[in-house]
Structure 1
Amino acid sequence: MKQDLEEKTVSTRKIFEGKVIQVQVDEVRLPNGHLSKREIVKHPGAVAVIAVTDENKMVLVRQFRKPLEKTILEIPAGKLEYKENSVECAKRELEEETGYVAAKMEKIVSFYTSPGFADEEIHLYQATGLQKRESNPDDDEFVELVELTADECFKRVETGEICDAKTIVALYHWRNAVSDQK
């Protein structure tokens, strides 16, 4: 018989509300009846896009990430706007950050980034039929377009230049999809 593992929320106290996240502290009743506190980051969700060119290169962006205090390579991605459809967000983010427009956008998987403290869910899409146009990043977004082969990408994982979960998940999906076609 399965044990009841659910924690019941007794109270919620909002600590911070910003442009991207909200932070709250929940008091919860544990399955054994004791009380405990949970610090939770609320996030509206995001999309990420696997885009591979006709030359079989993955489209990435190089961007400085303040929480890491370094510049990293990532797949194009961005936050969902209020009530925005995830596929439309994926199309928008791909074009804004890279200048590429996709003829087709296919959902691959959705996953939670850090379920121990955050509810952020990323919807991973694969873009095909790419056409290059001009990029148009947000005013506070400074990115550099980079296109790399799979081998080059995995070398960047080894060096730590590619170090975020969504990009690493995307790389393994891309590699597996290519090997499944052989």
Structure 2
Amino acid sequence: MKYPKDCSFPFAESVHGLICFRTSVNRHITWNPSMRQFVKLTKPGKRWKDIKVFLGYDPIEGKHKVVCMRRGYKVSGEYCRVLTLGSAQQSWRTVKTNHKHFAYIGCYARCINGVLYYAALLDDDSDASIIMSFDVRTEKFDMIKLPLNDFWGMMISYEGRLSYLDYYNPMDNGGIKLWILEDKEKHI
């Protein structure tokens, strides 16, 4: 199957049958492999040039949504843009994030049971590493503080729950830790 030129697939994963990636000119595309279709996403706004997008899926309503944020170090915001794929009115909406933060430049996201998770930093003097959660159905953001001060591991889905695999801790003499989110509402 031919695909659009200059595609980049960093950390792309399937989210309920769709894959989202970008081209070298920062155009974002969703791909439905079973339908053999590529759909170019519209830009969320004229001033939104360097952006980061995440793909989520709401299993209750059966809808895919794209979350868009400005990208870059210390490019934070209290708002993001959200696009519901396949809807009759396919336009970007503005959603308040509740926490001024910015996504890590090279970060990726995991969508688990209707919640989208991605690595971020708070926009304050602490530069604390956090994981932001976005409930795809309600479009509400929340913040999960990591038990560590850095983000050198990776987020994975383990037994249907968000987990953080810390495999790069020089203080552990090559050890490995797996942190599992037990309760997504209480963040423990």
Q: Which has the larger radius of gyration?
A: 1
Give the structure with the higher percent strand: 2
Same fold flag (TM > 0.5): no
What's the TM-score, normalizing by structure 1? 0.29
Comparing both chains, which one has the higher relative contact order based on Cα–Cα distances under 8 Å and sequence gaps of 6 or more?
1
